[in-house]
Amino acid sequence: MAEEQTAETGSAPRADFGLYSRPAEEPAIAPGDLVAGAVSLLWLALVGGFFLFAGDSDGSGGPLGTIMVLVAIFLPIALIWIAAITLRTARTMKSESQRLQAAIDAMRHAYVSQSQSGLTKPSVEKRLEEIAASARQTESAIATFTSRRDDQTLQPSAERKAALAAPKPAAAGDDQPALALGTPAEPMTNPVSVADFIKSLNFPDNANDKEGFRALRRALDDRALAKLIRAAQDALTLLSQDGIYMDDLRPDRARPEIWRRFAQGERGRTIAALGGVRDRSSLALTAGRMRQDTIFRDAAHHFLRQFDKTFSEFEKNASDQDIAALAETRTARAFMLLGRVTGIFD
């Protein structure tokens, strides 16, 4: 029974793993071994013929002569078999090298195929991106449902809602009556919408950002908003001279109610969450520039004052979702950075 099982096992076909399967076992006696054996026999025959036909020697060589004769006989045989073993090893190494090269080519082909099909990112990275996108959508939805609403009417959309509250008309009981000298330029134009105001604070992404340039022009036409836009542009330009770019910052997000507290005049630890910039190099470079460069310091303080003044007016008309969107702009990130350096959140 054992012999039958052994026979069945030996006759069973081996699993074929293709490129990664083991190479076929070489025969016990390779052609090189046969050649080496034949050459060895030929050498021994020549040596035997030499001693057979050379006749008897007087043996004057002694033990040393005998050793030299043995070395002369067997050293060529040893060299022949060393050459045979070397050839066999070289043949094995060549076979393994070919298999390794084929495996590398297969891996390269698979990598190129995945790159062309857009599957190069690991599944973990894709999953993290999906989680981050889902978190952003959730935050936007929460801000939408928790935003303030008027008690009687719904607020208009960001595209139609004015960014700043309209100034109140002068009281009717003023001592000096207003002169009818015509309508000023501002009331004749539509107010800048919240959406355009937020886009203008983020500035155009590139030269092809037509929507960004349109929103920026609309904001610059408004006298109150233009002051903040120009102050922010100066601050961003000065920060970029030290290699500080707002797109590189990833500040912690503050809840809209914290921003509202700031707009309503609160300062100190209660609004510390607004200083969410954690980049140490940016903070150190900005603090050093504030101490050494008076122009930078004046521009930073002017920008902070304009942001404070404009945001206080913006908060009156803005929903929580609008405030969350404004907090993601480059201007808001510059405010977080400079505000933390100057200590307004301490």
Which tokens go with 158?
A: 């960001």
* Cα gap 60→58, rounded to integer Å: 6
Q: What is the pLDDT of residue 110?
A: 78
Q: Kindly report, residue by residue over 335-345, the tens digit of the pLDDT.
A: 999 988 988 88
Cross-strand bridge partners of residue 162: 193
Q: What is the mean pLDDT of residues 270-278?
A: 85
Q: What is the pLDDT of residue 9?
A: 46
**Residue 242 and residue 220 in contact, taking contact as beta carbons nearer than 8 Å:** no
Residue 198's Cβ-side half-sphere holds a number of Cα atoms within 13 Å equal to: 19
**Residue 277 and residue 333 in contact, taking contact as beta carbons nearer than 8 Å:** yes
Q: What is the pLDDT of residue 294?
A: 92
Q: Is 344 helix (H, G, I), strand (E, B) or coil?
A: coil
- 160: number of Cβ within 10 Å: 11
pTM over 0.85: no
Q: Of the segments 123-137, 260-274, 285-299, which one has the largest average pLDDT value?
A: 285-299
Dihedral sign of CA atoms 233, 235, 236, 241 in order: positive
Q: What is the mean pLDDT of residues 83-102?
A: 86
Q: What is the mean pLDDT of the chain?
A: 76
Whether the per-residue pLDDT at 157 is higher than 70: the answer is: no
* Cα gap 30→41, rounded to integer Å: 17
Q: Kindly report, residue by residue over 17-30, the tens digit of the pLDDT.
A: 455 555 566 666 77
Query: What are the extents of the domains in the chain?
Result: 27-48+60-121, 191-346
Q: What is the pLDDT of residue 139?
A: 58
**Residue 231 and residue 306 in contact, taking contact as beta carbons nearer than 8 Å:** yes
Q: Which of 225, 235, 119, 216 is nearest to 164 (CA)?
A: 225
- 343: number of Cβ within 10 Å: 10
